[in-house]
Amino acid sequence: MTDIVVPETTKADWTSDQEPRWCPGCGDYSILTALQMMMPDLGLRREDTVFISGIGCAARFPYYMNTYGIHSIHGRSPAIATGLAMARPDLNIFVIGGDGDMLSIGGNHLIHSLRRNVNLTILLFNNQIYGLTKGQYSPTSEIGKITKSTPIGSLDEPFNPVSVALGAEASFVARTHDMDRAHMQEMMRRAFEHQGSSLVEVFQNCNVFNDGAFAAITKKANRDEMLIPLRQGEQIRFGADNEHGVVFGADGRATVVDVADVDESQILVHDESRRDASLAFALSRLSSGPYEPTPVGIFRAVDRPEYAAEASKQLAFAQEQSGPADLRALLHSHQTWEV
Amino acid sequence: MADTAAVPEVRQLDSIIVRFAGDSGDGMQLTGDRFTNASAVFGNDLSTLPEFPAEIRAPQGTLAGVSAFQVQVSDHDITTPGDAPNVLIAMNPAALKKELHRLEPGGTIIVNEDAFEDRNLAKAGYDETPLEDGSLDAYTMFKVPMTSLTKEVCKDIGVKPRDAERSKNFFALGLVSWLYTRPVEPTLDWIKAKFGRQELVAAANTAAFNAGHAFGETAEYFDVTYEVRPAKLQPGVYTNINGNTALSWGLIAAGQLAKLPIFLGSYPITPASDILHELSKHKNFGVRTLQAEDEIAAVGSALGAAYGGHLGITATSGPGIALKGETIGLAVSLELPLIVIDIQRGGPSTGLPTKTEASDLLMAMYGRHGESPIPIVAAYTASQCFHAAIEAARIALKYRTPVMLLSDGYLANGTEPWRLPDVESLDEIDVQFATATNAVDAEGNAVFHPYVRDPETLARPWAIPGTPELMHRIGGIEKEDGTGNISYDPENHQRMTDLRAAKIAGIANDIPPTMMAGDVDDADLLVLGWGSTWGSITSGMKRARAEGNKVAHAHLTHINPFPADLGDVLARYPRVIVPEMNMGQLSKLVRAEFLVDATAVTKVKGQPFTAAEIHEAILENIDD
């Protein structure tokens, strides 16, 4: 993007002098480490990089990055980041938040930043619980969740964050989990490189209030059978011997089958660049929770005009049409008369 | 034809108050606006008051659908759109019914006679036509079949009757223009420019306007016309301007003066949307606008842009301020410049969206959680909104703080002639971004501490992303004095709270003294005002003083902090009254701050004070 050589950096350069204050064993540590280790590979200047968060455990993230950053208020980080991205298209902006921050109090800002396609890399740490307020159910908690605020069980149908993002016209949507550093880094890198809003859902374990929520699918022993890797241009297959696959049914639903039971050519070949989001959406519906085989990887990555760039073009267009700023001419632009 | 008509007498008046009223779809705002413009170009001083319903198209012909526009045109300096109109133009029965009570005793009524048919009369609640039952005998009434005359004149140029009917407001405008000897060229030129591409519409409006003018001249109906000579205004170039446009231009000027790009995040809301519209038109000034998904995103995006080094602005009305409160609090904590504009309207809740009120003062002052003081600047005339916007920007940028800029529906939509300032005379706003480290850490390394303050202003450095070596993290959690690191230390929180308060209080030394008028040295009564009541207070006080009363007027352009001399000013006079378009909010503030026995004079009727109401309040309260 620029001819000027960016000095090489190391993980230490991206690490601030503040001690992380998450509970010991929190999944946030592995996400932070994965990101700090990956940052040098992106070839960025620290001073051109900004982390913006809302409120929640995940939202402490900016304090630990040696970049610019704002730890803002609950739910509003996509809105604040949108203003910054429009004002400063030269910056690399990351938005960090949890499921309560991004999908409950800030749900409106999340969907609108996704549809606008502002150049933001949004990392949504989903632990299916409110941690900082000590354990209430969240908008991604399963129905029937017993918490302090729902002693007889929660009644709310949970959001599927990938489905929400696809429904909000997101141009890049991916999913990963906190037990696989390499996969997290690949998803974050691809999300960053994407021009426009990119959303990465990260399954994150809250070992205090919702321990093991994702264990059924992310534990090493379970991954082969329970995680469905989405790989560009490859058939969607999983299992120790790739014996399972995903087919697209006549009813518009994606379904898991045993490859032996179908004609192999029926197995879906993954294409993240499909303009139409229907198939990506169908894939997001394969699993309704972390207890059945769940796709991870990039669901959708399509090119769409980036918002801040388009807004800048309008400024250039206006200057072409109306000429450069002339305050005197503006004040005299309505009918005037002389006394 | 004209040569056969008797030449009516021309009577000189020093001012006239005209009120146009009709159905929302009758184009009354446009008609009033054109009459105003012709008068402005003629050289009169003027002041306008548009009043329209919140509904875009209320049921036709009903009282709810009446839209009105009042203008005072004068040969001398005036400050209000006038109390009681001298003439009422009523385009239908509903307009007559709703507006008649405002007319001065014995005033003139001009009605569109065609509209007074059974259906319209019933919709307005008349059992029989008031044009014939003698109920209007106390007034001078002219019945003019405007609709049929307009249709008639449009027939010749090939306009369908139904389309022609839409031009009847131009017939009314032509007639009133003749009656008050207004120049016709500005209106005819405007029609040409506005409707040039739609030839038939332009032709119909022109024909209707000319027909109205000719009707006055030839109908031998009016035996007198009136003339209001040009006002002796200060020499200069003038334009007619409303508050929202002046405010928008002031924001653009502030960006130029500070050499900063502008970012406006806004969500559509009456009566503030025109600021979003106006700024969106001027992207060639480096103005970025975002129509956000909600009020919270609007202020959030403006704050994000401010972090990036832009002049961040959000504009809304009361309901929007309520939603923005948490983010304004964040801006207080982040200590970033931000302009928050509240074009006040009637409340609570949706209240009276299109009517004026000034009842958000205490919300502006205290409407956030925690100790979160912010400066408040209040505009006081339509054109002065330009300077108020620049002043809000100056304070925000210099002190790195959100500033509340208060205007209201009356200022927003009302117009007045504005002597255009010399652009060169506007003071530049000096803004310096931080470029270097400002502290040394325990190991002796040069570091940047985001909350090290300027000893004079107590403002913190504005270090924008992209600046090497100054990477820092800020947030809403309490910060350690200096380093800006998270701190829960009790002593530190007290210190930071004190510092934030002292920073805002210190602005009192950087603003003009209280604006004073009238019998400053020996008044028996002080009228303390703020915001758009300036015009009514000025006119009302003039009447009281003309009767020999000793009255002074203090008007606040800055409400937080108050001007440094305000306490002395209030102590100087035996009586203080505070007229406000709320239930007494400024009076509460000055009573609490200065222990002064200030009497609130309140009004919440969706309309500005009349000069008569202020005059009366002065007489009631002055110590004889």
To test the contact with chain B by mutation, choose from A17, A44, A86 the residue with the greatest count of B C-beta atoms within 10 A, namely: A86
Domain positions in chain B = 2-228, 239-425, 432-510, 515-621
Residue B54: predicted pLDDT: 83
pLDDT(A249) > 90: no
The pair of three-digit structure tokens given for residue B59, joined into one six-digit string: 């049921």
Domains parsed from chain A with CATH numbers: 11-213+305-314 (3.40.50.970)
CB contact under 8 A, A336 and B486: no
Question: What tokens were used for B542?
Answer: 């003039």
Contact list in A for residue B469 (CB cut-off 8 A) is 47
CB pair distance less than 8 Å for B465 and A48:
yes
Burial class (CB in 10 A: 0-12, 13-18, 19+), B426: middle
| B485 contacts on A by Cβ (under 8 Å) | 18
- Report cis status (omega within 30 of 0) of the bond before A24: no
Which one-letter amino acid corresponds to residue A166?
A: L
DSSP class of residue B486 equals B
* Residues of chain B found within 8 Å of residue A319, distances taken between Cβ atoms: 283-284
Q: What is the mean pLDDT of chain B?
A: 95
B624 pLDDT band, cuts 50/70/90, is low
Instruction: Report which residue type is found at B580.
Output: E
Residue B236 to residue A63, Cβ atoms within 8 A: no
Task: Considering only the beta carbons, identify the residue of A79, A88, A319 that sits closest to B301.
Answer: A79
Element (H, E) at B262: strand B262-266
Taking CA atoms, A253 is separated from A248, B11, B68, in Å, by 6, 84, 59
B448 close to A (CB below 8 A)? no
pLDDT at B1 over 80: no
Q: How many CB atoms lie within 10 A of CB B433?
A: 13
- Considering only alpha carbons, which residue of chain B is nearest residue A69? B473
- Report helix, strand or coil for A256: strand
pLDDT in tens, B533-558: 999 999 999 999 999 999 999 999 99
As a whole number of angstroms, the distance between CA B99 and CA B590 comes to 37
Q: How far is A115 from chain B (nearest CA, A)?
A: 11
A16 touches chain B (CB under 8 A): yes
Question: pLDDT value at position A66?
Answer: 97
Mutation choice for A interface testing from B471, B474, B479, B487 by most A CBs within 10 A: B471
The minimum CA-CA distance between A300 and chain B, rounded to whole Å, is 24
pLDDT digits (tens, 9 = 90+) for B305-345: 999 999 999 999 999 999 999 999 999 999 999 999 999 99
| Interface contact B282-A335, CB threshold 8 A | no
**Across the interface, do A336 and B239 touch by the CB < 8 Å criterion?**
yes
Contacts of A49 in chain B (CB under 8 A): 465
Q: Which of B307, B310, B464 sits opposite A70 (nearest CB)?
A: B307
pLDDT digits (tens, 9 = 90+) for B226-261: 999 999 889 999 999 999 999 999 999 999 999 999
Supply the pLDDT for residue B8. 77
Contact status of A311 with chain B (Cβ, < 8 Å): yes
Give tens-digit pLDDT for A134-184. 999 999 999 999 999 999 999 999 999 999 999 999 999 999 999 999 999
- Looking at chain A, which residue has its C-alpha nearest residue B230? A339
B328: its two tokens: 């304004």
Residues of B numbered 104-143 whose beta carbons fall under 8 angstroms of chain A's beta carbons: which are they? none
Q: What is the pLDDT of residues B149-163, one digit of tens each?
A: 999 999 888 888 888
Taking an 8 Å cut-off on Cβ atoms, the answer to whether A72 and B282 are in contact is no
pLDDT value of residue A3:
59
Q: How far is A325 from chain B (nearest CA, A)?
A: 5
Chain B nearest CA to A108, separation (Å): 7
CB A72 to CB B475 under 8 A?
Answer: yes
Interface test with B, best of A51, A132, A331, A333 (most B CBs within 10 A): A331
Give A-chain residues touching B300 at CB under 8 angstroms. 72, 76, 79-80, 82-83, 109
Name residues 74-133 of chain A within 8 A of B (Cβ).
Answer: 76, 79-88, 90-91, 108-109, 112
Does the pLDDT of residue A313 top 70, yes or no? yes
- Report percent pLDDT > 90 for chain A: 95
- Cα–Cα distance, A36 to A64 (Å, whole number): 9
Architecture of domain B239-425: 3-Layer(aba) Sandwich (3.40)
Q: What angle do CA B167, B168, B172 make, to 5 degrees?
A: 125
Does residue B3 surpass a pLDDT of 60? no
Task: Count chain A–chain B contacts defined by CB atoms under 8 A.
Answer: 202
At B220, the pLDDT band (50, 70, 90 cuts) reads confident
Question: Which of the four pLDDT bands, split at 50, 70 and 90, describes residue B218?
Answer: confident
Distance, in Å, from the CA atom of B510 to the CA atom of B36, rounded to the nearest integer, reads 38
Q: Are A30 and A56 in contact (CB under 8 A)?
A: no
Q: Confidence class of residue B100 from pLDDT cuts 50, 70 and 90?
A: very high
Query: What are the pLDDT digits (tens) for B25-79?
Result: 899 999 999 999 999 989 999 999 999 888 877 889 999 999 999 999 999 999 9
Q: Please tell me if the domain spanning B239-425 has the same topology as the one spanning B515-621.
A: yes
pLDDT tens digits for range B278-302? 999 999 999 999 999 999 999 999 9
pLDDT tens for B444-476 read: 999 999 999 999 999 999 999 999 999 999 999
**Chain B CA closest to residue A333:** B239
Lowest mean pLDDT among A73-87, A250-264, B88-102, B213-227: B213-227
User: Which pair of tokens denotes residue B69?
Assistant: 């526009």
- Can you say whether residue A158 is alpha, beta or left, with left for phi > 0 and alpha for psi between -120 and 50 degrees? beta
A318 CB neighbours in chain B (<8 A) are 282-284
B46: Cα separation from own chain's centroid: 15
Secondary-structure percent of chain A, ordered helix, strand, coil, rounded to 5: 35, 20, 45
Q: Which percentage of chain A shows pLDDT scores above 70? A: 99
- CB-based contact B305 A87, cutoff 8 Å: yes
Question: Looking at residues B77-103, what average pLDDT do you find?
Answer: 95
Lowest mean pLDDT among B14-18, B54-58, B479-483, B498-502: B54-58
Does A310 lie at the interface with B, CB-CB under 8 angstroms?
A: no
Nearest chain A residue to B328, by CA: A73
Q: Is A63 within 8 Å of chain B by CB?
A: yes
pLDDT tens sequence across A73-99: 999 999 999 999 999 999 999 999 999
Q: For the segment B578-611, what is each residue's pLDDT rounded down to a tens digit?
A: 999 999 999 999 999 999 999 999 999 999 999 9
Which CATH class name applies to B515-621? alpha beta
Residues of chain A with Cβ-Cβ distance to B283 below 8 Å are 314-315, 317-319
Residues of B in contact with A83 (CB under 8 A): 263, 265, 290, 300-306, 308, 312
Is the ipTM of this structure higher than 0.90? Answer: yes
Contact B304 A334 (CB under 8 A): no
Q: Check CB contact under 8 Å for B466 and A47.
A: yes
Residue B495 has pLDDT above 60, yes or no: yes
Residues 225-264 of B with CB under 8 A from A: 230, 233-241, 245, 249, 252-253, 256, 261, 263
pLDDT of res. A89: 98
pLDDT at B85 over 80: yes
Cβ of residue B576 closer than 8 Å to a chain A Cβ: no
Whether domain B2-228 has CATH 3.40.50.12500: the reply is: no
Q: Report CB contact under 8 Å: B300, A80.
A: yes
Q: How far apart are alpha carbons B295 and B269 in whole angstroms?
A: 9
User: Which band of pLDDT confidence, cut at 50, 70 and 90, is reported for residue B223?
Assistant: confident
- Portion 177-236 of A in contact with B at CB < 8 A: none
> Are B466 and A330 an interchain contact pair (Cβ–Cβ within 8 Å)?
no
pLDDT-derived band of residue A1, with 50, 70 and 90 as boundaries? very low
